Every structure is written in C-alpha cells, then in structure tokens.
Amino acid sequence: MNTHSGNRIRVLIADDDEHILQCYRMAFGENDATDFVGSLGSLEAELFDQDAESPAAPKFEIVACNQGGDAIALAARAATEGRPFDVVILDVRMPPGIDGVEAGSEIRKLDPEVEIVFVTGFSDVPISELARRVPPPVKLHYFNKPLSFMELAESVAGMVRAG
C-alpha cells in the first residue's frame, strides 16, 4: 500500500466533464466549508455533548485532469517524485483521447499498489474485460453514474484503510 502524506489521502481523478470534477472536489472536502463545519461541530460538542464528539473526517488531496493521457502523465510524475497516489478514479469514456480502461492499464503498470476506481455513465467494456486488462481484481473498483460522491469519498477512504 502507498503511504499517504500525513492524514491526507492522495486521489487522482480523471473525467472529461468539468462539472463532475467540481462535484468530486466538493465531495472530497477540498473547500473551506468542511473546515468550517468541522470547527462548528467541535464547538457544539464542547458546549452540549462532550462525549458524542464524532471522529475526525478523512482528508483528501485531490489532483484532477480531463484526459486519460494526462492521468498517466500525472501518475508517472507522482511515482517519480516518490508521492504516489493512493487511489485513481477514472471515467471510462473520455473523448477524444484514450479511454479510462487503457489509462488504468498503463497506470497499473506504473503502480501495482494503487487502488483504481472506474466511474462511468455507460461502459461498453464488460467488467470481466476490465479485470483482465487492469488486474488484480482486489484493487479494482467499479461504480455507475449517477452516484453520491460523498458516499464514494467514504468508500475511497475505506479502500485506503482496508489496503
């Protein structure tokens, strides 16, 4: 398993839709609101319910791009710098460049330990074909759009904890 820096989980996300990337950023807490809600929650716990303080939410470090080729380049650079990604989230269809499956296959060659997550609206590639091209199956995950990215963020955190 890759060692994430501090408490932050490094996640590489590739999707050709900028609106979806924005959703990823919001869901994975890359804004001030999360910190603000966190401080409000701490104050509330201090005032009203000292024993019910919730555990600290996972922290993510998001790196986003729009094309499969960019994802491969970012993964390669991260590996070279000794800061590999913990999780790579790929859309299957990312025209006009290479698709997510090919990108995942190349990233797997660069980093055998990374968890690879395919998130797509529709894939004409069967899951068995995905498992064949991006092994091992235990480090391969598949989600269909539309989905709750907050739940996805929790799943990603779970993958890192389990890994």
Residue with tokens 């990604």: 85
Helices and strands (DSSP H and E) totals, the chain: 6, 5
Cα 105 to chain centroid distance, Å, stands at: 16
In this chain, which of 6, 33, 55, 126 binds another protein, going by CB under 8 A? 33
Which range touches another protein (CB under 8 A), out of 6-14, 35-43, 55-63, 73-81?
A: 35-43
Total of residues contacting another protein (CB under 8 A): 29
What's the CA gap between 36 and 160, in Å, rounded? Answer: 25
Q: Does 127 bind another protein (CB under 8 A)?
A: no
What's the CA gap between 58 and 83, in Å, rounded? Answer: 18
Quick one: 35 or 113, whose CB is closer to another protein? 35
Report the nearest approach of another protein to the CB of residue 3 (Å): 30
Q: Does 146 bind another protein (CB under 8 A)?
A: yes
In this chain, which of 35, 150, 158, 161 binds another protein, going by CB under 8 A? 150
What's the CA gap between 152 and 82, in Å, rounded? Answer: 26
57 to 96: interface string for another protein, x by CB under 8 A: ------------------------------------x---
DSSP state of 6: T
Report the nearest approach of another protein to the CB of residue 47 (Å): 6
First and final C-alpha spacing in the chain: 6
